[in-house]
Structure formats: C-alpha cells, structure tokens
C-alpha cells in the first residue's frame, strides 16, 4: 500500500492549477442516463472516484470514454440495458446513489445498492427516498438494495427537505427533469455543485430555475438532449491548497480560483491573518508573520464554512497563536484525524462535535494514518509545517479526491514524494 513522505522545509512559492470539482463531476456524469444523446464534460478531474463512476455507468450500458488525458469525459446512454447498480461497485463510493433518480426518470425502474464511501457518518438515504416517493416512485429496501419503480411515471410535487442535502437535491432534481408537471424542492442545497448541475441540465433542454437558492423549481419536459459542459472549479481542492502557504509561509497563486466559491472560508483565513487577493488567473494567498491567529470555525451547508475543509483547517490551527474551537455540525464522526495530528505534537481535545485546539510552536514529523479523504490531505499539510519527516499511510483515500497531489505540492517547493507499497 502506497504512502506519502513529507519533509517540512519552510515557505512555498509558485502556482498551483486547480482541477474541476470531484463532487460536481460525480453528479454530472449520471445525468447522461437522462438522455439518448451524448454528454461531454470538459475540465473533468482525474481521480479514482471518476473511474468508479465510469465503471458503474458502463455496467448499466452507458458508453464512457476518457479523452485528453482524462480531462474530458465523453458519455453516451443511447442504450441502457441494465437497471441494477451492483454492490461491488456502489460500495466504493457514496455518490453512486446518484444513478437512482435518472434511471427512475428514464427507465421507470432502478435497483441500487446502498452506498459506501468514507466512514465519516451515517449519511442515510432517507431524504432521497422520500423525495423520489413524493414524485410517485415506489421504493422498497430488500437485501441491501433499494428496489425502485415508477409504474405510472413520475409526477411533479412540492418536496420539503428536512436537511439541505446535496445528494438528495441532485437526485430529486435530475428525476424531476422528466417528470410530468412542476416540481419544487424546498430547503434545497445551495452548493456551487448544485448550480453547476442545473446549468448542465438546462443545456440538455431541462427547465430548472432557482439553483443556488433554497427553492428550486423544475418544469418537467418530454426529453433531454446532448450537451457539452465544463465542470466547475473544485472549491475544496482550492481551499486545501490555499492553506499550504497559510501553514508554511510564502506566497502561492491558485490558478482558476474564484472567491465566490470559498467566501466563508476566506473570511476565516482573513481573520487568522492570511491575505487572499484576486488575480487575473485566480487567487493569491500570503500569510502575515510567522504564525496565524487562532479562529473558531463552525461547519455549515453552503454558503457556510465547508465540512470538507474542516480537517485541513484544524491542521492550520495546530500551529496558530491561541486556542480555537472547531464545531462539526454536518457529520457526526469527522474528527478521526485529530489523534493522528496529536501524534505529531498537536494539542487537541475532542468532546462530541467540538474540537478544542491549542496552538503549539511547531509540530514534529511522525508516521500517521489517513482515515478518510480530507483527513489524508490535512496530515500532508501538517507534515509540510512539521520538523523532520512525516509518513502518511493509507493514501488511497487521497486518490479519490486530489489529482497529482505530489506534483502540485512539489511545484511550489514542498519536499514530498509518493512511496510505492509492496
């Protein structure tokens, strides 16, 4: 099993290109199931999760080709000859459940295994199920699979989400594009990935309004068509690399970065003593002084502080001046990186959904283990600021969400290398 070796070596300088958003692409790819015509996605990230979604769509009968070294995904679902999303594929990644809504809308039936992914909380399928049932689907759980059918087709409805779930919003929105009548999703997720999916669906001929607001209205149409769509910039990769000069010093420009994608995150960086300025090519980040100031963080749905940047922010707070409190309100099991940071000399006290971090002068390199996708990169960031060598094990998590991570960090002067396992 591969590992990553990191050596702390001071300030960073240079440019890092930011890829297309993993979470956006994983919702856009299943949209191909809604149409017989081709869908082409540009600016696609090159990640193992994208390969998993490719495998799943191909198992259903879709044609998927990776072009231009993986940065273009060409998809066609003119023939769908299987409506069963098998456990052996779905267990690898939670976003696999996003084939449920499109298959119900196009085929009138779907059998989808309950999903897997990072072990950061239960993340049940209830909201997906209730929303699709409101559209007229009949769904039954049998032997670990959701058996869904819509014998009389899907019909528009008003759906009130009890939580602004990104996945549920995406599944319901895709299903509603081919439903008869009007669907309104209330308390819808507002993330940029939702807006990106709506933009793509509209290019395909859908009628979606209000994406990015709490109320999304979808007027059902008879069919969708082909389209070409660029995947939006990955705001989580963007935020992660913005933290590199914040924790190490120096100045780094993030190519393709956009302030509107990371507003709440940038507010916290500014509060901590980190400058973020817009450039013609993206965003430039520079830290004031030798250490940042401690700031408190509470994770919230967009436009709040992203849960997917909480682990990375904790790494920064480990060397901040003062004490910070990080409150995790999205997932109940997302402080698994804290014990690994403590191995590096961090002072962290976790009580339920609260983590109190008292900054130290410096961290010390140590062997650590990645527990999930975002935890893995938080340990790399900590290693960049630590004395000595840090070895991050179980980095297969990293491959799910960060492309060419060693090359990107090395490109700004970090001492980092991937060590192949036996």
Torsion of CA 256, 257, 259, 265, to 10 degrees: 160
Indicate where the chain has its CATH 3.65.10.10 domain(s).
Answer: 3-16+233-419, 25-221
Q: To the nearest whole number, what is the mean pLDDT of the chain?
A: 94
Measured distance CA(109)–CA(136) in Å, rounded: 12
Q: Is the pLDDT of residue 312 over 80?
A: yes
- What letter does residue 74 receive in the DSSP assignment? E
Residue 367 assigned ligand-binding role: no
pLDDT category at 282 given cuts 50, 70, 90 is: very high
pLDDT at position 331 is: 75
The predicted-structure confidence for 193-237, as pLDDT tens digits, reads as follows 999 999 999 999 999 999 999 999 999 999 999 999 999 999 999
Q: Which CATH architecture has domain 3-16+233-419?
A: Alpha-beta prism (3.65)
pLDDT category at 10 given cuts 50, 70, 90 is: confident
3-state SS, one letter per residue, for 348-361: EEEECCEEEEECCC
pLDDT at position 122 is: 44
pLDDT category at 397 given cuts 50, 70, 90 is: confident
CATH superfamily of 25-221: Enolpyruvate transferase domain (3.65.10.10)
Mean per-residue pLDDT, 71-94: 93
**89 token code pair:** 């594929």
Residue 106 assigned ligand-binding role: no
Residue 127 assigned ligand-binding role: yes
The predicted-structure confidence for 18-44, as pLDDT tens digits, reads as follows 999 999 999 999 999 999 999 999 999
Measured distance CA(32)–CA(224) in Å, rounded: 9
Catalytic member of 25, 118, 248, 318: 118
Measured distance CA(195)–CA(232) in Å, rounded: 9
Residue 171 assigned ligand-binding role: no
Residue 23 assigned ligand-binding role: yes
> Which residues, other chains included, contact 4 with Cβ-Cβ below 8 Å and sequence gap of 6+?
380, 391, 392, 395, 398, 405, 406, 416, 417, 418, 419
The predicted-structure confidence for 98-130, as pLDDT tens digits, reads as follows 999 999 999 999 999 987 544 434 446 899 999
Please indicate whether residue 248 is annotated as part of the active site. no
């Amino acid at each position: 099993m591969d590992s990553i070796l990191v050596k702390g070596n001071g300030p960073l300088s240079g440019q890092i290109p930011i890829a297309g958003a993993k979470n956006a692409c994983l919702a856009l790819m299943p949209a191909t199931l809604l149409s017989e015509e081709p869908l082409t996605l540009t600016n696609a990230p090159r990640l193992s999760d994208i390969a998993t979604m490719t495998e799943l769509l191909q198992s259903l009968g879709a044609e998927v080709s990776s072009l231009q070294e993986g940065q273009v995904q060409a998809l066609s679902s003119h023939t769908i000859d299987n409506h069963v999303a098998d456990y052996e594929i779905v267990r690898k990644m939670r976003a696999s459940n996003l084939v449920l809504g499109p298959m119900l809308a196009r085929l009138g039936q779907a059998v989808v295994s309950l999903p897997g992914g990072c072990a950061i909380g239960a993340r049940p399928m209830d909201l997906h199920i209730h929303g699709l049932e409101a559209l007229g689907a009949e769904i039954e759980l049998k032997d670990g699979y959701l058996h869904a059918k819509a014998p009389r087709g899907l019909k528009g409805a008003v759906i009130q989400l009890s939580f602004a779930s990104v996945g549920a919003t995406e599944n319901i929105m895709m299903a509603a594009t081919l439903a008869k009548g009007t669907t309104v999703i209330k308390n819808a997720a507002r993330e940029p990935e939702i807006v990106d999916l709506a933009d793509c669906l509209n290019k395909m001929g859908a009628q979606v309004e209000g994406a990015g607001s709490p109320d999304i209205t979808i007027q059902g149409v008879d069919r969708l068509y082909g389209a070409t769509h660029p995947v939006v910039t990955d705001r989580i990769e963007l935020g992660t690399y913005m933290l590199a000069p914040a924790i190490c010093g120096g100045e780094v420009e993030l190519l393709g970065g956009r302030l509107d994608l990371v507003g709440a995150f940038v507010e916290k960086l500014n509060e901590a003593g980190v400058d973020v300025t817009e450039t013609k090519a993206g965003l430039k980040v520079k830290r004031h002084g030798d250490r940042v100031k401690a700031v408190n963080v509470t994770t919230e749905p967009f436009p709040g502080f992203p849960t997917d940047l909480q682990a990375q922010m904790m790494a920064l707070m480990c060397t901040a001046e003062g004490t910070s409190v990080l409150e995790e309100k999205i997932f109940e099991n997302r402080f698994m990186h804290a014990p690994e940071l403590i191995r590096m000399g961090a002072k962290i006290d976790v009580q339920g959904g609260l983590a109190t971090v008292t900054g130290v002068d410096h961290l010390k390199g140590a062997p650590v283990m990645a527990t999930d996708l975002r935890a893995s990169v938080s340990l790399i960031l900590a290693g960049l600021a630590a004395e000595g060598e840090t070895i991050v094990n179980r980095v297969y998590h990293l491959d799910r969400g960060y492309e060419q991570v060693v090359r990107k960090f090395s490109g700004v002067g970090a001492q980092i290398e991937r060590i192949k396992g036996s």
